[in-house]
Structure 1
Amino acid sequence: MSPPTTRSSVGLRSERGPILLATMLATGLVAIDSTILATAVPSVVDDLGGFTQFPWLFSVYLLAQAVTVPIYGKVSDLLGRKPVMLLGITLFVLGSVLCGFAWGMTALIIFRALQGLGAGAVQPMAMTIVGDIYSMQERAKVQGYIASVWAISSLVGPTLGGAFADYLSWRAIFFVNLPVGIAAFWMLQRRFTEQVTRRRTTVDWPGATLLTAGGLLLLLALLEGGQRWAWDSGTSIALFVVAAAALVGFVYAETRATDPVLPLWVFRRRTLNAGNLGSLVVGCVMLGLSSYVPLFGEQVLGHGAVVAGLALAAMTLGWPIAASLSGRIYLTLGFRVTVLLGAALAVVGSLLLLTVDGDSSFLHLAAPCFVIGLGFGFVVSPGVVAAQSSVAWQSRGVATGANMFARSVGSAVGVAIFGAVANGVVAGRLGGKVPALEQLDPDVLEPALHTVFVVGAAISVALLLAGALMPRRVTAPAETLPAAPVTDPLKEPAAQPVTTVTDQ
């Protein structure tokens, strides 16, 4: 039978509620970790040293997470979501415990990479499990639950990080993941049952290796270019050249693979391309906001770090509100209208951000971020739902993983673009010298950050293209794969929705 569609069947108190709660807890692990460590970096450096190495605490985590997302997605389509999700939680919790016992900065960086390997499974699997156990109509409401995790984490993370660092120890930041991870693991192990008809296949090792190597080198070049080495340095050029060669080799390998790790048809589906483009642009613009809005509030407007961070939190509050409302819109007016609405809000919010100057109030800075967050919520959540609804079970992990990977690539591109823009403006005003942005006088920093916001507004216009590409309706799938395996958290066979994509 198909999953029930009554209102009572969707909430946390329903029969599927424990599974939804488990995916929320697992998502919370990744969401809180993305913000909790930043406020404790001074304490970590004071204890372990390695000031010049600490940026790798974030870079290596992002790298490990990003390059493994497509691979986990493919594996889940072969073996099922449950084993991949449980593996991800295990790796993340193990990495967290090891981080808590780290004896030096190098060890901490290595263990952060292990955390990233776990996060690469947790985030896409949470969205894929939701796509499996809820219909498209039900996901209109469930997306709000998942989005709320990120909103709460954006507020709780920095506060917990600062409190642990000041009153306990920075190591507690990592140990707090242990009970949350155990609870998520236990609930999924007990309550989530899937019957997977495993088919014989050959492992696409060449494709997986080339995708991992190419993605890793590309993201490394984007994250560290202009920071650890100049863009025109031999290191930077070599990384881009080798990354390009690996990715070209990956495309060739996928054309010959019996069961490719990232099928090239993903890039030929209009619905998937629209959703992936939206995620890529959101990842890029969001990185600019996350990095430079708090800096503007603190260094230019003169607010404390907490208040400056709240301006950015306005964006993460707008996101789940829009994600919760988006379902009603795309179910009545269609996906294209919903994404275009989000794109328009993101562009308007980005333009409003350009009116902020050194004399602006806190609310003047926070309001555009809230509007941009609304836009992101109307773009990302419908994009994921449309992508999942446009394919059958056997391809849903790949489709979700590709969407998440696009956002990670967008974030890395954003690091490169916005960093280069800010440093370029500063260098022009200081005769080629580029000190740390936090050390600049407001009269030098303000025009640099304003230019960053201008570039962000220009990039956000690409969301309108994503909306234009999105089909009005994803009515149901054209999938030529064998019959979908049965996935049912209630241990009863559930018919998977048969859908085909209609590009209208």
Structure 2
Amino acid sequence: MEHLSNKRKLTIMIAIMAAMLFAAINQTITSTAMPRIIAILDGMDLYTWTINIYLLTSTIATVLVGKLSDMFGRKPFLLTGILLFMVGAFLTGTSDNVHQFIFYRGIQGIGAGIIQSTAFTAVGDLFPPRERGKWMGLMTAVFGFSSVLGPTLGGYLIDHLDWHWLFWIFLPLGVVAFVLIMALFPKAKRGESTSIDYLGSLFLTTTIVPLLLAFSWAGTEYDWGSGQILGLLAASVVSALIFVFTETKAKNPILPLHLFKNSVVTVSNLIGFIMNFGMMGALIYLNFFVQGVLGISATYAGYVTMPMSIVMVIASAVTGQLIAKQGKYKRFAMAGVPIMIGGMAIMIFMNSVPVAILSMIVFGLGLGLGMPVFSLATQNAVSHKELGAVTASTQLFRNLGGTIGIAVMGTVMSNNLTKHLKEALTSSPAAQGLSQLDPEVSKQLTAFANPTALMNKPLLEQTQASLPADVQPLFVQMIDGIRDALGQTLSTVFMTGTIVLVAAFILVFFLKELPLRQSNQAAAPAEAESDALAKKLQVE
């Protein structure tokens, strides 16, 4: 596709980014409104499924479509992904009960996974690695922009419109993206081999599904050592062993295992896994700190975390331009990951809004510098015919890292919170006063000894106002003690995330920097080195 005019490439990229924005903002716009939507549908007992189903279907679709798009071209999958996402979004908005909502969210997830996989790979079709960096940076910026606009817009819409419109308002953007890609995106020639690895696809799916479910449910729905979690993990391990055996025999494997013999691919994917492990696992609890510890209302909490996304958007766009200009990528990872570590280290000591904003800015800068690097490095390290498969592997490792990180950090938080709350409720100045109150009043007050209740600022104010004047100071002291306990707990969570990111930084030193190719027709640097070595051995 390098023969296309720059004007046509630019138009196609606008269409691809419109598709990415359509999928990303439909995800972020619901983040603040989802609890209320599920409450309206009377399905709070199935709330985790509304999140898990999207994660499951999008992850599976991302991995399976990667190799298929290498075989049949990106265009049919891009169009299918946009269409499925539009259908899923429309149907989700028509849901009458939570079961319909979950099913339709699953359809959305499939569409999102296909878009996510093929959009990043399509950039590789349109541009050689040397030019690809600036577009990777802009694609990352699209995600950042959606995380800035989505939650705030979602909160506004859920307060002023019927909840169905959250899923319908951006459908015209999907239509525009679909029409542009249909008209402008060139049709690719079918690859030499068209045999589909059905068996590998099956066992890859049966490996991912129980693994994601195990880490999604561990510590919340079931104990880590429960039969359900151990059974899911055992099923995942058995399926993984069968999958590996199947792939060694397959003519056209869905996830070619030889890719992982390439050190750039393996190291980049490990870094992506570890970074998402630490990043998602810690960032998911930022709102607990902003609202629960600092006592900021949900309306204004988004403004505290917004600087991270804004800085990330700018940094990722600039990083992409510099990579394209300099032809080097490792230096940006060497700078970005330590800055991310610094940002998360500041979170350990957060005690005010200015410090929280500073940590967000530093972390966003590191994220913008580092994140575009690893997708580009993996794509540059393999031949163009395997672009889809290697991009899918990158997305898979990042998704797994984020899911496992959230589960592990959740366990770290719950274990430490129990200990700190116990100390707060037994040794605080308010403890003795609470013990002397009427049992019913005491029970009403101690109901706030959990982070979710602390985040409900209107309820806190309402409860305090309803108490007798002599009890109100005790209530304030108790809440302050619980806030301190939550703050100490979250410091431990952020410290764990910092340590995990240090491991990612160590791995960056092992990332081999290969020259960025200036044409998609040239062999991958790693492949060229291998061919040269083989010829040398033949001569000898």
Q: Normalization by structure 2: what TM-score? A: 0.84
Paired position in structure 2 for 1:437 = 451
Displacement, 1:142? 1.8
Which of 84, 89, 92 is residue 77 of structure 2 equivalent to?
A: 84
Query: Quick one: structure 1 residues 220 and 46, their matched pair in 2 at CA, closer, same or farther if it must change by over 3 Å?
Result: closer
Partner of 1:500: 525
Deviates more, 1:406-415 or 1:199-208: 199-208
User: How much has 1:275 moved relative to structure 2?
Assistant: 1.9
Structure with the larger helix share:
2
Partner of 2:401: 410
The match for 1:481 is none
What SS does the corresponding residue of 2:418 show, helix, strand or coil? helix
Closer/same/farther in 2, CA of residues 18 and 332 from structure 1, 3 Å limit: closer
Match in the other structure for 2:288: 295
Identity of aligned residues (%): 30
The answer as to 2:363 corresponding to 1:349 is no
**How far has the Cα of 1:4 moved from its partner?**
8.1
Q: Distance in 2 between matches of 1:420 and 1:474?
A: 42
Instruction: Give 2:265's match in structure 1, choosing from 268, 272, 289.
Output: 272
Are 1:340 and 2:334 an aligned pair? yes
Secondary structure of the structure 1 residue equivalent to 2:251: coil
Residues 50 and 232 of structure 1, relative CA distance in 2, 3 Å threshold: same
Structure whose CA Rg is larger: 2
- 1:309 correspondence with 2:302: yes
Counterpart residue number, 2:534: none
Q: Which residue of 1 aligns with 2:384?
A: 393
Structure 2: which amino acid aligns with 1:337?
R
Structure 2 match to 1:27 = 20
**Secondary structure of 1:442's partner?**
helix
Task: Report the equivalent of 1:377.
Answer: 368
1:61–1:149 Cα change, 3 Å: same
Q: Give the superposed CA RMSD.
A: 2.3
> 192-201 or 344-353, which moves further after superposition?
192-201
Taking the aligned partners of 1:434 and 1:222, their CA distance within structure 2 comes to 28
Aligned residues: 477
Match of 1:127 among 116, 120, 144: 120
Per-residue CA shift, 1:137-171, capped at 9, x if unaligned? 32232223212212221121112212221111111
Using the alignment, how far apart are the partners of 1:445 and 1:269 within structure 2? Answer: 44
Q: Distance in 2 between matches of 1:336 and 1:237?
A: 39
Distance 1:330 1:448, change over 3 A: farther
Relative to structure 1, the CA distance from residue 186 to residue 124 in structure 2 (aligned partners, 3 Å threshold; closer, same or farther) is: same
2:330, 2:373 within 8 Å by CA — same for their partners in 1? no
1:192 aligns with 2:185: yes
Structure 1: state its 5+ residue gaps.
Answer: 478-493
SS in 1 for 2:90: helix
CA contact (8 A) 1:475 1:499 kept: no
Paired with 2:174 and 2:323, the residues of 1 have a C-alpha distance of 34
* Distance (Å, rounded) in 2 between the aligned partners of 1:204 and 1:25: 32
Asked if the contact 2:420–2:486 (Cα under 8 Å) also holds between the matched residues in 1, the reply is no
Rounded Cα–Cα distance in structure 1 between residues aligned with 2:151 and 2:20: 17
Matched, 1:249 2:242: yes
Cα shift at 1:47: 2.2
CA contact (8 A) 2:72 2:188 kept: no
* Structure 1 counterpart of 2:404, one-letter code: V
SS at match of 1:260: coil
Task: Assess if the C-alpha contact under 8 Å between 1:315 and 1:372 holds in 2.
Answer: yes
Rate the CA distance shift 1:225–1:337 in 2: closer, same or farther, 3 A.
same
Q: Residue 129 of structure 2 aligns with which residue?
A: 136
Change (3 A) 1:334 1:200: closer
| CA–CA distance in structure 1, aligned partners of residues 197 and 133 of structure 2 | 35
Write the distance in 1 (CA, Å) between the matches of 2:369 and 2:271: 10
Q: Is the 8 A contact 1:390 1:474 kept in 2?
A: no
